[in-house]
A and B are shown apart, each in its own frame.
Chain A
Amino acid sequence: MNAILLSAIWGVLMMFSGVFIKSKTTPKYLAIVGIIVVFIANALELNAFNIGSLHLNIDTKEMLNINSFNLTFIAVVLACTLLFFLLSGRDIEKVGEHVGEYFALIFFVICGVCLSATYNTLLLLFLGIEIMSIPLYILTGSDKRNLKSNEASLKYFLMGAFSTGIMLMGIAFIYGGNANGSFFINNIQIGEGTMPVMIAVGLVFMIIALSFKVSAAPFHFWTPDVYDGAPTVFTSFMSTIVKVAGFFAFVRLFENAFGKVQGQWQNLIVFITVMTLLIGNVTAVFQQSVKRMLAYSSIAQAGFMMLAVFALNDRAKEGLLLYAAAYSIATIGVFAVLIKMNDYTIEGFNGLGKTHPLIALCTTVFLLSLTGIPLTAGFQSKFFMLMAAAENTGKFWLVIVAVLFAAISAYYYFRVIQAMYFKEPGVEVIDDKDISTPFKIMLAIAAILIIAIGIYPEFVVGWMYHS
């Protein structure tokens, strides 16, 4: 709750900063302060919740459901955003004129993320998702001179609007099929046995719409193009924080609304999961541009996160938290490095290990984490996901399939590592003037975080279990 309010308010603040503050660098610091404030507020709320006394208690008419799980998730998201600001803040300034507005939009997105993490009615789910999406359409197109950026934002917008329509249709059918005639997700009367046809139809619509938001195959087609076309900073943002938020909404809806009849729709999830893993991993193998490769890899990772929707048990929730943290940190880190690159192709990374050992080392850690090598957070998150899927009995083969694709994923991540360490450096990999020491330090901290979570995941998961 605190997070929602504060992020919205701070968004407005940033908006005006854009108007009143001429300096291009100030908004960044303002934003950093803001995100820290939001984080603290959220932490307080989490703590208060865990000891059972909420300070400011707004009556939301049960439209929001605050619990330690989604508060922890918000905390993770905010932390990642902070990291994102610290690592890539200066690159946001480079995108265009309206620095303040960019930050404002990002804050609005955060607000939407918090909403879709805590919503308790379909209405707020819808609003949350929209509040997440609309600023992103803008951010995608924010590099106005660049045709790729324009194209990306147009594609993103059209398909996004389309998926909105689909989601609304789903909501309508769910509402219609729900004898209680209510939009509260925990007040949907499904009854015993097979669910009513209308609910089923609505459910499928919802699966489609949410799969679109989390870029799960076969509704992923916007992802590579949009991620590729958008300014790299914003790609980094939307491929991490927004995506995991989408997953969180996904899991939340299906756990609370349709958890009881899981058996009746699980096949769809299995289908989508396998498709996503297949397309994401296999297509990434061939990519030459690291940016695009990361776009596909984000699809592949989404395939793994789908396992949480598949399993829907406590392990899955923990896994989702871990995944949110591990995947976001690693990806933000990689993108932060990628932005500095002069050449986005894999050859562009040649010999980075020689010229910038520290950066190369951190990048390696991130990539290893994305691959899921032990002692990195990536392993723990994948591991939890697999455990969750395995605990959900009956479809163990899915676990094996997932693992096989994980092996493929090693292929494209390691191509970058090979380029960095085993190839001779080309001309001027990075121009050193925009590599600041703080940047290096932040990168190192991110890498250390990855390792820390990898060694001791309870560091993240533990928050769920304080109450």
Chain B
Amino acid sequence: MDIKAYIALSLTLFTIGIVGVLTRRNAIIVFMCVEVMLNAVNLLLVAFSNMHAASTAAKALPTFASDAQIFVFFIMIVAAAEVSVGLSIIVMLYRNTHSIDVNFLNRLKN
């Protein structure tokens, strides 16, 4: 299994996320698309870590590849935190406007 396959896969997911962000107007969906992007990254990181683990230099220390996985772990942490904040913002917005359409509010322009 070559790394390129994983790159392709995660880039595709990443792009799907982007396109989602661009095309949807529902704040929650948009936010979920961002989550998709993050997951694409996670996948890629893990793949890379194993790639490095496969490389000769890695043989030296066993925990070599775990850096990336720790990183992914932190990404998840951050994602969780962001979700809590993000959702609270969206809820607040909904409370004030009864809409979560990202284009509904554009008082701020020009």
Contacts and interface: CB of A to CB of B under 8 A. Distances in A.
Are A and B close enough to touch in the complex, i.e. CB under 8 Å? yes
Contacts of A150: 89, 92-93, 96-97, 105
Interface in A318-341: none
A183 B67 CA distance: 8
B67 A157 contact: no
B81 A134 contact: yes
Contacts of A228: 108
Contacts of B65: 181
Contact of A176 (B51, B64, B75): B51
B107 A151 contact: yes
A315 to B, nearest CB: 35
Interface string B37-76: 1101100110111011001011000001101101100110
A141 B89 CA distance: 8
A147 B86 contact: no
A224 B108 contact: yes
Given A141-B89, A152-B108, A154-B89, A179 B55 contact: yes
Contacts of A161: 31, 34, 82, 86
Interface residues of B, number: 49
A90 interface: no
B9 interface: no
Contacts of B82: 130, 134, 161, 164
Contacts of B107: 147-148, 151, 229
Chain A CB within 10 A, most for which of B21, B78, B106 = B78
Interface string A129-142: 01000100110010
Interface in A80-136: 123, 126-127, 130, 134
Nearest to B104: A151
A134 B86 CA distance: 9
A141 B92 contact: yes
Given A168-B38, A172-B48, A154 B71 contact: no
Given A123-B71, A150-B96, A175-B48, A181 B41 contact: no
Interface in A160-183: 161-162, 164-166, 168-169, 171-173, 175-176, 179-183
A137 B89 contact: yes
A260 interface: no
Nearest to B44: A172
A181 B27 contact: no
Contact of B58 (A126, A155, A162, A181): A181
A154 B89 CA distance: 7
A395 interface: no
A138 B68 contact: no
Nearest to B84: A134
A158 B27 contact: yes
Interface residues of A, number: 41
Contact of A162 (B34, B71, B85): B34
A45 interface: no
Contacts of B30: 158
A84 B55 CA distance: 51
A123 B86 CA distance: 22
Chain A CB within 10 A, most for which of B3, B21, B107 = B107
A148 B93 CA distance: 10
Chain A CB within 10 A, most for which of B3, B55, B96 = B96
B93 to A, nearest CB: 5
A172 B27 CA distance: 27
A225 interface: yes
A123 B85 contact: no
A322 B102 CA distance: 39
A155 B31 CA distance: 11
Nearest to A150: B93
Contact of A154 (B34, B37, B48, B105): B105
Nearest to B45: A172
A147 B3 contact: no
Given A164-B78, A169-B41, A181 B64 contact: yes
Contacts of B71: 123, 171, 175, 183
Contacts of B10: 172
B67 A182 contact: yes
Contacts of B70: 123
Chain B CB within 10 A, most for which of A123, A152, A224 = A123
Contact of B14 (A137, A152, A169): A169
Nearest to A129: B78
A356 interface: no
A22 interface: no
Q: Which 8 A-B pairs have the closest CB atoms?
A: A181-B52, A165-B37, A151-B105, A225-B108, A176-B48, A168-B41, A161-B34, A172-B44
Given A123-B70, A157-B86, A176-B48, 5 more contacts: A158-B86, A172-B10, A181-B57, A181-B65, A225-B109
18 contacts: A127-B74, A130-B81, A137-B86, A147-B105, A148-B108, A150-B96, A150-B105, A154-B93, A157-B89, A164-B82, A165-B37, A168-B37, A171-B45, A172-B48, A176-B3, A180-B57, A181-B48, A181-B52
